[in-house]
Amino acid sequence: MINNERIDHLERLLEVVRGLTTAPDIEAFLQTVISEASEMTDSELASILEYDEVAEELRFLAMQWFQRDMLRPLGVPLEGSAAGWVFKRGQPLIIQDAKADQRHFKVIDRVTRHETSSLAAVPLIVRGEVIGVLETLNKKDNAHYTEEDLTILATLGALAAQAMQNVGLQRKVRIASIELAELERLKTDFIAVTSHELRTPLGLILGHATFLRELAGDQYGEQLNTIIRNATRLKEIVENLSDVDNVQTGAARIRSHQVSLTKVAEDTILTFQDEATARNITLKLDVEGNNPFYVDADGVKISIAVSNLVKNAIQFTDTGGHITVKIMEDSGYLKVSVSDDGIGIPARDLPRVFERFFQVETHLTRRHGGMGLGLSVAKAMIELHGGRIWVESQEGKGSTFIFLLPTTKEQPPVTSISPFLE
């Protein structure tokens, strides 16, 4: 008989365990816990109390439905209550004669017009921290609560605590992701406003400085060239910022034409050749079969991507280094790689280099210029075309940035001269 009862208890406890994953929500699960707690211990009532850190008291989280409206608004103090006693000590408690016991909090009985004669309570513990209490009241037929009852309550209490902790964690994750989204929005707004507001004054500075240089001749030529060079650099930064913003807000549009990737690479190399030579860096192009490699793409955007990769390669390669831009066909895609034998990227930073504003060097140790935008822009430009970009690198040995673009089926018109022809 005893054995049958134990088997029954075990089966019911197992059913509650299953409820941890199958119950529709925490309320439904805690409801199951208290109804099993009262039935399995032969009690009249059961409830779960949770510690409220702000009010510094216990509050009813789950109770029999007919007590809900009365108990929900009530708080149970930690001093002068059985639940408080259990909570503070983290130990179970049995009170056989509640009326005579000072630890019983009599206010609840008065409000609910219920008379508590006996009670059993266990702490709800998560990783050594007590978060609440599971309590049963009035064992039927004036029977005494037993150790067996406490074991049942402790098992149910452990399950309830687990479920409550899961909900707490989910809440924290939700709050963190809302905060993250807000930060991301601030970042995007900041980019949009900055790039927009800087564009006009910069255009004016450049325009007037260029005009003055022509007027001034040699006298202030060097100073004006410095202004123009630095304003041009600022303009590049602003353009990068607005490229990122356009991609993010969906304002970026692709104006596709037949574009020769070879021509794009040749033009880019021409643009950077002087800078490379000045630093004694060999910059060369290697095109498979001297093919023009046509793609249906927005030439300006592809050119921005290739330029940003070549610019970085020059920046992060020491004098005497080598940079190769390679173009080839690879299983239905055109593959462009920019390799250097420069400083390389530490393995831990590889997954982050395409993030906006990411730089391997911190601001404090920074030796190179830049804003950490070039690669995120390149990535956006390639992905806008349905392509893919990645990097292979070894610290101290060099880096290879590779992107793939889908090839074009049609052949270009014979008259196409420039990759950027509209």
Residue 161 touching ligand ADP (CB under 6 A): no
Q: Which is nearer to ligand ADP, 45 or 353 (CB)?
A: 353
**Nearest distance in Å: CB 412, ligand ADP:** 31
Residue 367, number of CB atoms within 10 A of its CB: 8
Q: Which amino acid is at 87?
A: F
Query: Out of 358, 406, 412, 420, which residue is the one contacting ligand ADP (CB under 6 A)?
Result: 358
Task: Write the CB contacts of 236 (distance below 8 Å, at least 6 apart in sequence).
Answer: none
State the binding string over 294-313 for ligand ADP (x if CB under 6 A, else -). --------------x---xx
Q: Which is nearer to ligand ADP, 209 or 336 (CB)?
A: 336
**Nearest distance in Å: CB 340, ligand ADP:** 5
Give bridge partners of residue 390 from the DSSP assignment.
402
Residue 168 touching ligand ADP (CB under 6 A): no
Q: Which is nearer to ligand ADP, 64 or 359 (CB)?
A: 359
Residue 340 touching ligand ADP (CB under 6 A): yes
Q: Which is nearer to ligand ADP, 126 or 202 (CB)?
A: 202
At residue 257, φ and ψ (nearest 5 deg) are -145, 175
Which residues in 39-78 contact ligand ADP (CB under 6 A)? none
Query: Out of 48, 334, 345, 405, which residue is the one contacting ligand ADP (CB under 6 A)?
Result: 345
For 331, the token pair is 């299983």
CA contacts within 13 A on the Cβ side of 242: 13
Query: Out of 123, 374, 387, 419, which residue is the one contacting ligand ADP (CB under 6 A)?
Result: 374
| β-bridge pairing 129-139 and 119-126 | antiparallel
Sign of CA dihedral 409, 415, 417, 419: negative
# of chain residues touching ligand ADP (CB under 6 A) = 22
Q: Which is nearer to ligand ADP, 204 or 371 (CB)?
A: 371
State the binding string over 375-394 for ligand ADP (x if CB under 6 A, else -). xx------------------
24-32, 76-84, 193-201, 369-377 -> range binding ligand ADP (CB under 6 A): 369-377
CA distances from 138 to 35, 109, 352 (A): 14, 12, 61
Query: Out of 353, 381, 389, 404, which residue is the one contacting ligand ADP (CB under 6 A)?
Result: 353
| β-bridge pairing 322-330 and 282-287 | parallel
70, with CB counted inside 10 A (0-12, 13-18, 19+), is: middle
**Nearest distance in Å: CB 277, ligand ADP:** 18
Length, in residues, of the chain: 422
**Nearest distance in Å: CB 234, ligand ADP:** 13
Query: Out of 63, 360, 380, 382, which residue is the one contacting ligand ADP (CB under 6 A)?
Result: 360
Query: Out of 40, 325, 336, 343, which residue is the one contacting ligand ADP (CB under 6 A)?
Result: 343
| β-bridge pairing 294-297 and 43-52 | unpaired
First to last CA, the chain: 91
Query: Cα separation of 58 and 75, whole Å?
Result: 6
Residue 313, number of CB atoms within 10 A of its CB: 27
**Nearest distance in Å: CB 248, ligand ADP:** 15
What is the rounded radius of gyration, in angstroms, for the C-alpha atoms of the chain?
36
Residue 371 touching ligand ADP (CB under 6 A): yes
Residue 399 touching ligand ADP (CB under 6 A): yes
Query: Cα separation of 359 and 350, whole Å?
Result: 11
For 252, the token pair is 């970026």
Q: Which residues bind ligand ADP (CB under 6 A)?
A: 308, 312-313, 316, 340, 342-345, 353, 358-361, 370-376, 399
